[in-house]
Amino acid sequence: MSTTKTALKRPEVLAPAGTLEKLKTAIHYGADAVYIGGNAYGLRSRAGNFTYEQMAEGVAYAREHDAKVYVAANMVTHEGNQEGAGEFFRNLRDVGISAVIVSDPALIEICITEAPGLPVHLSTQASATNWETLEFWKEEGLERVVLAREVSMAEVAMIRAHSDIEIEAFVHGAMCISYSGRCVLSNHMSMRDANRGGCSQSCRWKYDLFDMPFGTEAHQSLVDKGQVTEPYSMSAVDMSMIQHIPDLIENGVNSFKIEGRMKSIHYVSTVTNVYKAAVDSYMADPENWVCKQEWIDELWKVAQRELSDGFYYHTPTDEDQLFGPRRKIPQYTFIGEVLAYDAATKMATVRQRNHFSVGDEIEFYGPGFQHFHQSVTVMYNEDGESIDRAPNPMMLLTMPVAQPVHVGDMIRKKKEEPKK
Instruction: Give 337-356 pLDDT, tens digit per residue.
Output: 999 999 999 999 999 999 99
User: Looking at residues 212-216, what average pLDDT do you find?
Assistant: 57
Mean pLDDT computed over every residue of the chain: 88
For the chain, which domains are there?
Answer: 5-175+236-320 (3.20.20.70), 179-225 (no CATH), 332-414 (2.40.30.10)
Mean local confidence (pLDDT), 23-32: 98
Give the three-class secondary structure for 412: strand
Query: Using CB atoms within 10 A of its CB, is residue 88 exposed (0-12), middle (13-18) or buried (19+)?
Result: buried
Categorize the per-residue pLDDT at 224 as very low, low, confident or very high, splitting at 50, 70 and 90. very low
Residues 6+ apart with CB under 8 A from 266: 302, 334, 353, 410, 412
Closest CA to 304 of 321, 328, 338, 285: 328
| C-alpha span between 298 and 303 (Å, rounded) | 9
- pLDDT tens digits for range 154-180: 999 999 999 999 999 999 998 877 777
323, 326, 327: which is closest to 209 by C-alpha? 323
For residues 13 and 304, the model is more confident at 13
Taking the C-alpha atoms of residue 27 and residue 16, their distance in angstroms, rounded to an integer, is 10
pLDDT of 152 > 70? The answer is: yes
- Of 194 and 57, the structure prediction assigns the larger pLDDT to 57
Is pLDDT of 292 > 60? yes
Residue 36 has pLDDT above 50, yes or no: yes
| CA–CA separation, 270 and 268 (whole Å) | 6
Alpha carbon of residue 287 to chain centroid: 29
Report the DSSP beta bridge partners of residue 258.
172
In 260-395, DSSP assigns E strands to 307-308, 332-342, 347-352, 356-357, 361-366, 370-375, 379-380, 386-387, 389-390
Q: Which of 65-74, 223-232, 354-363 has the lowest mean pLDDT?
A: 223-232
The answer to whether 319 and 362 are in contact (CB under 8 A) is no
Q: What percent of the chain has pLDDT over 90?
A: 68
Q: Is the dihedral angle over the CA atoms 219, 224, 225, 230 positive or is it negative?
A: positive
Is the CA virtual torsion 150, 152, 156, 161 positive or negative? negative
Residue 38's pLDDT is 85
Q: Which of 277, 273, 258, 43 is nearest to 170 (CA)?
A: 258
